[in-house]
């Protein structure tokens, strides 16, 4: 594992220290790692959304579409369908 040193103004350090205590992190490093992981996930989801927005239109979603989806997923009970 690599080490990275960061400088924070006192107000931000106090905020980080409070978050560590209130949210159950063992160290400020654990808190920062979690923030980075969340940012990575946010960026991944954003890329997926943008890719979807740029893709060609898909199949029209109808009740029959959901019936086929249920069959593929193994849930053949049509009574569960909400209309």
- Residue 3: the pLDDT is 94
| pLDDT recorded at residue 58 | 86
pLDDT score of 26 more than 80: yes
Q: Please, which residues have CB within 8 angstroms of residue 23's CB and are 6 or more apart in sequence?
A: 31
Q: Would you state the pLDDT for residue 78? A: 54
Say if pTM beats, i.e. exceeds, 0.75.
no
11: Cα within 13 Å, side-chain hemisphere: 0
Q: In terms of Cα–Cα distance, which of 11, 10, 15, 9 is closest to 35?
A: 15
């Amino acid at each position: 594992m690599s080490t990275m040193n960061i400088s924070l103004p006192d107000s931000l350090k106090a905020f980080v220290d409070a978050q560590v205590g209130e949210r159950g992190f063992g160290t400020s490093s654990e808190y920062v790692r979690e923030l980075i992981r969340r940012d990575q996930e946010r960026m991944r989801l954003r890329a997926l959304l943008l890719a979807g927005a740029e893709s060609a239109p898909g199949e029209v979603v109808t009740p029959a579409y959901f019936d086929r989806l249920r069959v593929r997923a193994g849930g053949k009970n049509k009574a569960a369908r909400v209309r």
